[in-house]
Structures are given as structure tokens and as C-alpha cells.
Amino acid sequence: MANVSESAVWDALKRVEDPELHRDIVSLDMVRDLRIEDSSVSMTLMLTTPACPLTGPFKEAVENALLSVPGVSRANVALGAEVRGHKGPPERRPVEGVKNIIAVASNKGGVGKSTVATNLAVALAHRGAKVGILDADITGPNIPTMMGFEAGFQARSEGGLRPAERYGVRVCSIGFALPKGTPVVWRGPMIGTAVRDFLHNVDWGELDYLIVDLPPGTSDASMSMVQEAPIAGAVVVSTPQTVALEDATKAVAMFDRLQVPVFGIIENMSFFVA
């Protein structure tokens, strides 16, 4: 049986591209622990996120590339994930331990922004990522309810607000310190200060993604977050109504002005089944 050429294996792998990044997996350093034993080749395909939607076809393409090498009769590709951190402008202070911050926003209330943020966080955690969710809606925190926490359960605890875990997600909200029905009557500068404290004075631990649930509008909370930390991107939530779409357009324009990429727009409540 002919020996398998290692250089031929690497050449074959260089012809496989990441389906989203459109670069070959060798230059992206996605090939790990490559081993050649007789006619068998094994390796680990290190994905850039555990939430990759094309895992199956991607793995199959790598296996087919290995099997195309003369002498290879068996290919074993294991999957791993290594989330890479976003590096923003130098004037924006990174959040310790957090690789990527994703903002979920809508310029209009009642479109399901908190629902989208919660489901996004839980879905990423289910895929194996280390995830946190920051409730930046200081005057109307809904994340505790969404995640099944009792309102104000940290109100009398020592040491201030701290993240609590639910469904594999680390969660922090001012609602943890507010008994049910307690309003937050703060002016804009106080809201901005609170958002900064949540970002930099809360021990988030090591996270791949921090999902930030922003309040409606384009004022203090949104601006403070973007100016204080490197935001990897934003998801804008809307509903089909004309007024909601008008406000969503303004949210996109805000992020464009603040030089934050918009990953996409989610149209929530687009239909119902009778």
C-alpha cells in the first residue's frame, strides 16, 4: 500500500473553504491535530463558533477532500469550536473576559426585542458557547421574567448585583434588585452610568458572547454601550407594521453612524396560525 503524502493532504485541505468566511481552512488555522496512520487520516476541524449552521456539509466537504488524496481510504474529522474575540477601536474599553458583544435593539417598544435576545442567548448556549445576557433596559427590565427569575431576589443580598445562571446563560439585570412593581425613575445620565457599570463592574467570567438587550430608542443606554465597549455587531428587531419598520430603519441608521455593523433585521410576529 502506497504511503500517504502529508503534503498532498495539506494541499487537499487548502482547497476547502469556510462556507461563510470564504477562505481556505488551512489559512484560517482551522485544521488541528492532523494525524496520518497508514491509509487513515484524522483531524479536528476547529470551527469559529459552536453555532455554525453548516456544520454537517462543512464536515462532509473536509472528509471528501481527505478521501480524494491518493492512498487515503478512511477519514475521521472531529469537530471543535474556538470563538475568536472581536477587537474594536482602541478608545473602546474591552469587557474583561468577554470575546464578543452583540446588541439586540429596536427603536420601538413592544416588538419582541427581549424575546429575541433571550432566545438568541439560550440557543447559543445550547450549541456549546459560553453566553451571558445583559439587561440594559434599565427602566423596563424584562429579562428576569423571560429567564424565570423572581423579581428582586438579590435586593437584600450583600455585594451588589451579580450574574445568576439559568439555561446555561449568565444573566444580570437591575430587575434582580427591584421588588415586583418598583419603577426606576432616572434621568438619562444615570441610565448611561448604569449601563457602564453593568459592562465593566460586573464579573461576567469567561464568555464567548455577551448579548445586550437594549431599551427602545437611540438615546443614553444605546450610546453609552457603543461608546464604552467594542460591539461586534447588532441585531435589529421589528414587526411588519409600517411604524415599526420606520423605527427599525432609524435604529439601523444609528448603528451605522456609530460604526457598528448590523448583522441583520428580524421581523417578529410576522404572522399567526388560526
- Residuewise pLDDT in 10s, the chain (274 residues): 458 899 999 999 999 999 888 999 999 999 999 999 999 999 999 998 888 878 889 999 999 999 999 999 999 999 998 898 888 887 888 999 999 999 999 888 889 999 999 999 999 999 889 999 999 998 889 999 999 999 889 888 777 789 999 999 999 999 999 888 888 888 878 888 888 899 999 999 999 999 999 988 777 777 778 888 899 999 999 999 999 999 899 889 988 988 899 999 999 998 877 7
Whether the Cβ atoms of residue 221 and residue 252 lie closer than 8 Å to each other = no
Q: Which long-range contacts (CB under 8 A, 24 or more apart) does 26-33 make?
A: 32/80, 33/78
Where in the sequence of the chain do the CATH 3.40.50.300 domains occur?
Answer: 98-267
pLDDT value of residue 223: 77
pLDDT value of residue 224: 79
The strand order across the sheet containing 207-213 reads 164-166, 169-173, 131-135, 207-213, 98-105, 233-238, 262-267
Whether the Cβ atoms of residue 225 and residue 211 lie closer than 8 Å to each other = no
Cα pseudo-dihedral 15, 17, 22, 26, rounded to 10: -80
Question: What cell numbers appear for 76 in the block?
Answer: 475521521
- CATH class given for the domain over 6-81: alpha beta
Question: What cell numbers appear for 141 in the block?
Answer: 427590565
pLDDT value of residue 17: 94
Whether the Cβ atoms of residue 106 and residue 144 lie closer than 8 Å to each other = no
Where in the sequence of the chain do the CATH 3.30.300.130 domains occur?
Answer: 6-81
Please list the alpha-helical segments (H only) found in the chain: 6-14, 55-67, 113-126, 143-146, 188-200, 220-228, 242-257
Domain 98-267 has CATH 3.40.50.300: yes
CA–CA separation, 238 and 114 (whole Å): 12
Global confidence as pTM: 0.83
